[in-house]
Every structure is written in C-alpha cells, then in structure tokens.
C-alpha cells in the first residue's frame, strides 16, 4: 500500500471511531439490542444463525431508519452529510454485532 492509501485508510478509521462511536448518541441502544437480540435468537437457533439474523436485523433497521427519516435529504438534515450518516450507521451495526459475538461466546 502506498503512503496516500495508508493515509486514506487511517482517515476512514478515524471517522468511524469519531462519528460511528464517540459522537453517536444512539450507539448504546444498538449495542444493547445486539446483546439482548443475540441471546434471544440463540434460544431458537444455533449461535451462527443467531449472529447472522442479528446482523440482518441491524442492517434492516438502518435501511428503515434511512427511508423513514426522509432518504438522502433527511439524513443530510440530521447528520450534516451522507458520509457522516454512513459512519454513524456503520458504527451502529458494528456495535450490535460485536456485542452479539461477546454474548454468544
């Protein structure tokens, strides 16, 4: 990887950390759901399928949030840019999945 590519990667990680986790007021809810949802789903299916279902629900939640929130313009109104919305949503999904992995271990 060249220096420019490395710098772009570092900047993406910084944005994910700041916008996806540190400045994400609803991340705690997604993390909570990730743990509770994984535990609930694991009562009805094996852990791998529970994790896959939780991932699907987390992504579907973000899609519904996007559509119900007014699409592109609604996300720009709330988050300022689509890029910031993307990192916020990515942080939500990552948080939910990581907590699900921890609970299912």
The distance between the two most distant Cα atoms of the chain, rounded to a whole number of Å, is 48
C-alpha span between 42 and 77 (Å, rounded)? 38
Containing structural domain, residue 57 = 3-104
Helix (H, G, I), strand (E, B) or coil at 102: helix
Mark 29-57 as b/e (b = at least 16 C-beta within 10 Å): ebbebbbebbeebbeeeeeeebbebbbeb
Say how many domains are in the chain: 1
Helix (H, G, I), strand (E, B) or coil at 17: helix
pLDDT over 70 percentage in the chain: 100
Reported pTM: 0.92
Give residue-wise pLDDT tens across range 77-102: 999 999 999 999 999 999 999 999 99
Confidence grade of residue 1 (pLDDT, cut at 50, 70, 90): confident
């Amino acid at each position: 990887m060249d220096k420019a590519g490395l710098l772009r990667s570092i900047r993406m990680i910084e944005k994910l950390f700041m916008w996806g986790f540190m400045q994400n007021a609803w991340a705690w809810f997604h993390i909570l759901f990730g743990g509770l949802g994984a535990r609930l789903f694991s009562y009805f299916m094996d852990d791998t399928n529970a994790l896959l279902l939780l991932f699907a629900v987390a992504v579907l939640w973000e899609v519904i949030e996007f559509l119900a929130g007014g699409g592109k313009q609604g996300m720009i109104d709330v988050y300022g840019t689509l890029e910031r919305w993307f990192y916020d949503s990515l942080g939500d999904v990552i948080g939910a999945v990581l907590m699900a992995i921890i609970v299912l271990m």
